[in-house]
Amino acid sequence: MITFMNNSDSEEEPCNERTSLMSAESPPVPSYQDGLQASGGGEAQAHRKRRTGSSRSPNNIADGEMSDSGVPVRGSALENEEEELTLKYGAKHVIMLFVPVTLCMIVVVATIKSVRFYTEKNGQLIYTPFSEDTPSVGQRLLNSVLNTIIMISVIVVMTVFLVVLYKYRCYKFIHGWLILSSLMLLFLFTYIYLGEVLKTYNVAMDYPTLFLVIWNFGAVGMICIHWKGPLQLQQAYLIMISALMALVFIKYLPEWSAWVILGAISIYDLMAVLCPKGPLRMLVETAQERNEPIFPALIYSSAMMWTVGMAKPDTAARGPSQETWDAAEDGGDNHGSSSHAESQMSETRSPVPTRPITSLEELEEEERGVKLGLGDFIFYSVLVGKAAATASGDWNTTLACFVAILIGLCLTLLLLAVFKKALPALPISITFGLVFYFSTDNLVRPFMDTLASHQLYI
């Protein structure tokens, strides 16, 4: 999910809460009231017309807004001020989300292309018990659909479980779960990853050095994610974790299942966030009622919120516990599979919990950022990674999927600015990505190959 500042979406098993976009529902902060309504702009620019009577003020980041510098504070309606600020930050926030998504995808694609390990089929997760090595097409299709159903139901169960835990305030349990999850992710997966990379490049490394490196990496990661740390470092860790998770997915999900799962996940995301009884929506609303940030652990926050002076101690304390939610959720299973990892991943910045509830003036200083769930990162990267791994058109297809996902993200942010509430980040991007992948692979590739062989240019 993409959320604005305050409400982060939780991560869903692999992608539940994480994949919804949420506009931060913060307590009304006058300066951040977004009174705009996006008009039908292109995806490139979100133009908004002023909308009178803005609702609650989410610090939505309007995307694609102009990068005005120095917005003059208007003496006029509060809405105008908020509009200005939102506009001011709009395009910048889109870019702030572009960069990490791009980085994550680059890491995944680079690994896929170079390390052979991740494209070998060495078995499947227990979530996808049906094999795809069947001779007939129909059987294979059936197997992949069954795999998808199992995976999605696992995700749904985990999400509901998480929501229930949240509702009944079992923070400790969630906390522990999250920590366990992130531990496993940071240490085990990194170890495997490093091992494979070293194997590929034929670099010898002795165990003590390896132990030292991994220990440092993991310890700093745990601290950064679950406690405090510099923003850049935390973002970097989140990106790395997302990439690791995506790599695991790419390796262990069979071909057709992966594509069907991607499609099904985006549909599920759509429903979970928008339906009144959807688990993610309930999560968001519960968190809003309690004025807590939702699952800061599971989302990627693009900006830091700092409040001058006042920081509620209890919110700070709650931060880590909320972050551990995801981990807890994920940590449940013993598999280092997706769900766990996903939950772990989003650790937002620890200052985030100290939300702008404190004082309004202080909010002026804040940089509102957009929050994007880590599940979204993971699934985008899975899409692009799968395109890189399995497409015969190689880089063209990968590039096409990459552009498609970025455009989808733009559109989603635009919608976020329009609707100002939590929105699923997956559907549009994944749809574009899937469409482009299949069409590029089957239609564009022969065309470009023929062109290239004759050295024609269009």
Partner 1 sequence: PALGLFLFTIARDPLRIIILIAGAFFWLVSLLLSSLIWFIAVKASDPQDEPLQKGLLIFGVMFSVLLQEAFRFLYYKLLRKAIEGLVALSEDGCSPISIQQMAYVAGVGFGLMSGAFSMINLLADSLGPGTVGIHGDSQLYFLTSAFMTMVLIFLHTFWGIVFFHGCEHQRWWEIAAVVIMHLAVSGSTFCNPLYVGSLVPSYLMMATAAAWAYMLSGGSAQNLRRFLLCK
> Where does this chain bind partner 1 (CB under 8 A)?
36, 39-50, 64-68, 71-72, 74, 83-84, 87, 91-92, 94-95, 98, 393-396, 399-400, 403-404, 406-407, 410, 436, 439-440, 442-444, 446-448, 450-452, 454-458
Is 206 catalytic? The answer is: no
Of 361 and 394, the one with the shorter C-beta distance to partner 1 is: 394
Q: Which of 34, 333, 376, 441 is catalytic?
A: 376
Residues 6+ apart with CB under 8 A from 10: 16, 17, 18, 159, 162, 166, 280, 283, 294, 295, 298, 299, 325, 326, 329, 343, 373
Q: Residue 431, CB half-sphere, CA atoms under 13 Å: how many?
A: 12
**Residue listed under structure tokens 């050295």:** 455
Strand runs labelled E in 405-456: 423-424
Least separation in angstroms between residue 109's CB and partner 1 is: 12
Closest CA to 148 of 128, 133, 170: 128
Residue 300 or residue 432: which is nearer to partner 1 going by CB? 432
Pick the catalytic residue from 269, 326, 330, 441.
Answer: 269
Q: Please check whether residue 89 is in contact with residue 305, taking contact to mean a CB–CB distance below 8 angstroms.
A: no
How far apart are CB 106 and partner 1 at their closest, in Å? 14
* CB-nearer residue toward partner 1: 127 or 437: 437
Q: How far is CA 169 from the centre of its chain?
A: 24
Looking at the Cβ atoms of 245 and 416, the one nearer to partner 1 is 416
Q: How far is the CB of 234 from partner 1 (least distance, A)?
A: 22
Cβ nearer to partner 1, comparing 42 with 129: 42
Structure tokens at 410: 């733009």
- Least distance to partner 1, CB of residue 48, Å: 6
Residue 133 is among the residues annotated as catalytic for this protein: no
CA–CA separation, 410 and 141 (whole Å): 33
Q: How far is the CB of 68 from partner 1 (least distance, A)?
A: 6
For the four alpha carbons of 296, 301, 304 and 305, in that order, the dihedral sign comes to negative
Q: How far apart, in whole angstroms, are the C-alpha atoms of residue 55 and residue 30?
A: 11
**Which residues have a catalytic role annotated?**
269, 376
